[in-house]
């Protein structure tokens, strides 16, 4: 009985986030008189938020290492898209080579910042504040203050294209993209089957399993949501290419954070750096990795965003770091580090994205939108902090004892 309670409690935080997201969707669906979930708008939401999700996943890893943030991501996005613009538009280089070089540039930027943070031990806030200025300035130098446009089609399709756009058929009187529909059903099926297999495996090995009722309930809800989402996409142009990129990134990082030893070390580092070090965790290398990874993902986001704007502009990415950080914290990451999930971050990003989109449909001024988003961020984190007052006290306590070491 107690165990069930504990499990419920553990899941409650994730699910309360999910409930908040669903509530926001329903609210805007009603007040926008159904515009929010129109097939075209759903596609738009995917395009609008792809870069936030990509950045937020990278930011999550940084935050996990101990509440550290990366302020430079907006500037890195700009720098990478500027280079993409120069290489592809100005110098007419091969698109694939250019993409590869841009990703490499992201990694180099990450190594630069990671070096100062991890090995010289300069606080990340300062290093990335410097990076924010340096890379913004570099962007302006590269572009000479000008905007480059447009990109060729073979570049754009990576980000703004659709998969098998032409495979349209008439189904129940609606024009739908059949590839998209099949993909949706297939993904839902694969999800259910892997869940059931892993549950059976655990049973066979004699480990604890979820009750079949709970499992069934979970599977039905998630499959329905997945299929509904793909049905909406199918009624428009099909699966956006960027959704595939996003899906792969989310799967990889979710696996990385929950199932790998290095992922586990990341949480340990944020939970208690000294304890992690004394347990053999290579804390410096891990910190370095987190920042290299962040800039790599910023480069991915830069490529995606340049394609969406179909231009490379010096003001690209202004304020992106704040969207990414906000998504992580709304998604339940701890400002002290060591707590947070990829799933939560995705939901956090979607909550921000839905608010953005819904308020835009309603025609609210962007000034007002900022006020609302700011309050939502504060509200989400405040709720989190209040709900685990006890834990928070422990944390602070830990920080105090850490400095009053015996002499």
Site residues, another protein (CB under 8 A): 2-3, 6, 10, 202, 205, 207-208, 258-265, 267-268, 271-272, 274-282, 334, 336, 338-339, 390-391, 394-395, 397-398, 400-407
Question: Min. distance of Cβ 12 from another protein in angstroms?
Answer: 14
Question: CB–CB of 200/142 below 8 Å?
Answer: no
**Tally of residues, the chain:** 407
* CA dist., res. 112 & res. 35, Å (int): 45
Q: Is the peptide bond before 47 cis (omega within 30 degrees of 0)?
A: no
Please identify, using beta-carbon distances, which residue of 133 and 402 lies nearer to another protein: 402
Question: Given phi > 0 = left and psi -120 to 50 = alpha, else beta, which region is 150?
Answer: beta
* CA dist., res. 338 & res. 67, Å (int): 8
- In DSSP notation, 116-133 reads IIIIS---HHHHHHHHHH
Question: Min. distance of Cβ 14 from another protein in angstroms?
Answer: 15
Question: Min. distance of Cβ 268 from another protein in angstroms?
Answer: 6
- 3-class secondary structure, 176: strand
Question: CB–CB of 87/98 below 8 Å?
Answer: yes
Question: Min. distance of Cβ 2 from another protein in angstroms?
Answer: 5
- Dihedral sign of CA atoms 230, 235, 241, 243 in order: negative
Question: Min. distance of Cβ 247 from another protein in angstroms?
Answer: 20
Please identify, using beta-carbon distances, which residue of 60 and 102 lies nearer to another protein: 60
* CA dist., res. 259 & res. 253, Å (int): 10
Q: What backbone phi and psi angles, to 5 degrees, belong to 150?
A: -95, 165
* CA dist., res. 124 & res. 62, Å (int): 9
Please identify, using beta-carbon distances, which residue of 209 and 360 lies nearer to another protein: 209
What is the CA 95 to chain-centroid distance, rounded?
A: 25
Question: Min. distance of Cβ 89 from another protein in angstroms?
Answer: 41
Please identify, using beta-carbon distances, which residue of 169 and 402 lies nearer to another protein: 402
Please identify, using beta-carbon distances, which residue of 33 and 205 lies nearer to another protein: 205
Question: CB–CB of 305/376 below 8 Å?
Answer: no
Please identify, using beta-carbon distances, which residue of 141 and 394 lies nearer to another protein: 394
Please identify, using beta-carbon distances, which residue of 147 and 254 lies nearer to another protein: 254
Please identify, using beta-carbon distances, which residue of 3 and 33 lies nearer to another protein: 3
Please identify, using beta-carbon distances, which residue of 338 and 358 lies nearer to another protein: 338
Please identify, using beta-carbon distances, which residue of 240 and 337 lies nearer to another protein: 337
Question: Min. distance of Cβ 207 from another protein in angstroms?
Answer: 4
Q: What backbone phi and psi angles, to 5 degrees, belong to 162?
A: -125, 155
Question: Min. distance of Cβ 339 from another protein in angstroms?
Answer: 7
Question: Min. distance of Cβ 210 from another protein in angstroms?
Answer: 12
Question: Min. distance of Cβ 111 from another protein in angstroms?
Answer: 21
Q: How far is CA 388 from CA 262, 273, 340, 376, 393, in A?
A: 27, 22, 14, 19, 9
Cβ-based neighbour number of residue 116 at 10 Å: 19
Please identify, using beta-carbon distances, which residue of 365 and 404 lies nearer to another protein: 404
Question: Min. distance of Cβ 70 from another protein in angstroms?
Answer: 23
* CA dist., res. 117 & res. 109, Å (int): 12
* CA dist., res. 229 & res. 39, Å (int): 9
* CA dist., res. 170 & res. 145, Å (int): 49
Question: CB–CB of 212/17 below 8 Å?
Answer: no
* DSSP, res 306: H
């Amino acid at each position: 009985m107690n165990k069930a309670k504990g499990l419920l409690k553990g899941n409650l935080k994730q699910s309360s986030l999910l409930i908040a997201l669903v509530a926001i969707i329903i609210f805007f669906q009603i007040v926008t008189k159904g515009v929010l979930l129109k097939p075209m708008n759903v596609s738009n939401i995917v395009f609008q938020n792809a870069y936030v999700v990509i950045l937020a996943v990278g930011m999550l890893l940084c935050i996990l290492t101990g509440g550290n943030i990366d302020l430079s991501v907006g500037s890195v996005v700009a720098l990478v898209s500027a280079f993409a613009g120069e290489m592809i538009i100005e110098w007419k280089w091969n698109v694939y080579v250019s993409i590869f070089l841009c990703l490499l540039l992201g990694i180099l930027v990450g190594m630069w910042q990671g070096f100062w943070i991890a090995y010289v031990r300069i606080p990340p806030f300062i290093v990335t504040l410097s990076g924010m200025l340096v890379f913004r300035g570099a962007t302006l130098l590269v572009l000479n203050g000008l905007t480059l446009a447009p990109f060729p089609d073979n570049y754009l399709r990576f980000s703004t294209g659709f998969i098998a756009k032409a495979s349209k058929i008439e189904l129940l009187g609606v024009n739908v993209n059949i590839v998209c529909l099949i993909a949706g059903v297939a993904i839902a099926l694969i999800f259910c089957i892997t869940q059931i297999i892993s549950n059976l495996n655990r049973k066979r090995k004699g480990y604890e399993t979820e009750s079949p009722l709970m499992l069934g309930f979970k599977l039905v809800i998630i499959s329905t949501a997945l299929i509904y989402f793909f049905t909406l996409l199918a009624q428009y142009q099909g699966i956006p290419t960027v959704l595939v990129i996003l899906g792969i990134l989310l799967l990889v990082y979710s696996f990385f954070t929950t199932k790998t030893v290095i992922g586990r070390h990341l949480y340990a580092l944020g939970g208690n750096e000294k304890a992690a070090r004394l347990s053999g965790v290579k804390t410096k290398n891990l910190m370095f990795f987190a920042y290299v990874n962040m800039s790599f993902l910023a480069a991915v986001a830069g490529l995606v965003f340049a394609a969406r704007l179909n231009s490379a502009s010096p003001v690209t990415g202004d304020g992106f770091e704040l969207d990414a950080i906000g998504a992580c914290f709304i998604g339940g990451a701890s400002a002290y580090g060591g707590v947070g999930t990829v799933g939560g971050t995705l939901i956090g990003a979607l909550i921000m994205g839905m608010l953005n989109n819904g308020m835009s449909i309603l025609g609210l001024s962007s000034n007002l939108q900022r006020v609302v988003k700011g309050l939502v961020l504060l509200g989400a984190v405040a709720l989190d902090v209040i709900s685990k007052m006890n834990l928070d006290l422990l944390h602070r306590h830990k920080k105090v004892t850490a400095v009053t070491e015996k002499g």
